[in-house]
């Protein structure tokens, strides 16, 4: 899959496909990366070290602060795949890259590619400032 890079980086990680958007501010634990939003279908699941795929963020622009802090602490997603561009998520990755020299690739997939993501699998993301490639291995059925 070819995507649109919002932040560069290279990583391989297990896929975590969310059923609904997520607010990092109030919806995830800054110290662990666990989804804590009581209304979220994946509450209790940790996004730490996973290739997190979701439509986009929900809620406050303060989510950038929480996600950037998770990146600093090493409990953030290893990569983020989005269905639509999301400035809040991209800002967190860009700030973490500049302040902490830690890259978390953020890539926007086409609606068709996003909808074709499997429920499980291993994702390899290779994103530069100009291009992004996403490969799925060991894919399960959605």
pLDDT tens for 17-50 read: 999 999 999 999 999 999 999 999 999 999 999 9
Using the predicted structure, report yes or no on whether residue 71 has a pLDDT greater than 70. Answer: yes
At residue 141, does pLDDT exceed 60?
A: no
In this prediction, residue 20 carries a pLDDT of 95
- Residues belonging to the active site: 60
Q: Kindly list the structural domains of the chain, giving each domain's residue range(s) and its CATH number in brackets, ordered by start.
A: 2-138 (3.50.30.10)
Burial 115-141 (b: 16+ CB within 10 A, else e): eebbeebebebbbeeeebebebeeeee
Residue 138: pLDDT above 90? Answer: no
Mean pLDDT of the chain: 95
Q: Over 79-138, what HEC string results? A: EEEECCCCHHHHHHHHHHHHHHCCCCCEEECCHHHHHCCCCCCEEEEEECCCCEEEEEEC
If you average pLDDT over residues 86-103, what whole number do you get? 97
Global pTM reads 0.94
């Amino acid at each position: 899959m070819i995507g649109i890079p919002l932040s560069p980086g290279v990583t391989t990680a297990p896929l975590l496909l969310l059923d609904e958007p997520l607010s990092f501010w109030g919806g995830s634990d800054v110290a662990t990366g666990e989804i804590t939003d009581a209304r979220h279908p994946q509450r209790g699941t940790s996004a730490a070290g996973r290739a997190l795929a979701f439509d986009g963020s929900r809620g406050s622009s303060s989510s950038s602060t929480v996600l950037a802090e998770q990146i600093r602490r090493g409990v953030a997603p290893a990569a983020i795949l989005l269905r639509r561009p999301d400035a809040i998520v991209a800002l967190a990755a860009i700030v973490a890259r500049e302040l902490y020299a830690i890259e978390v690739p953020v890539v926007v997939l086409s609606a068709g590619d996003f909808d074709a993501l499997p429920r499980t699998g291993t994702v390899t993301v290779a994103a530069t400032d100009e291009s992004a490639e996403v490969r799925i291995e060991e894919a399960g059925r959605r």
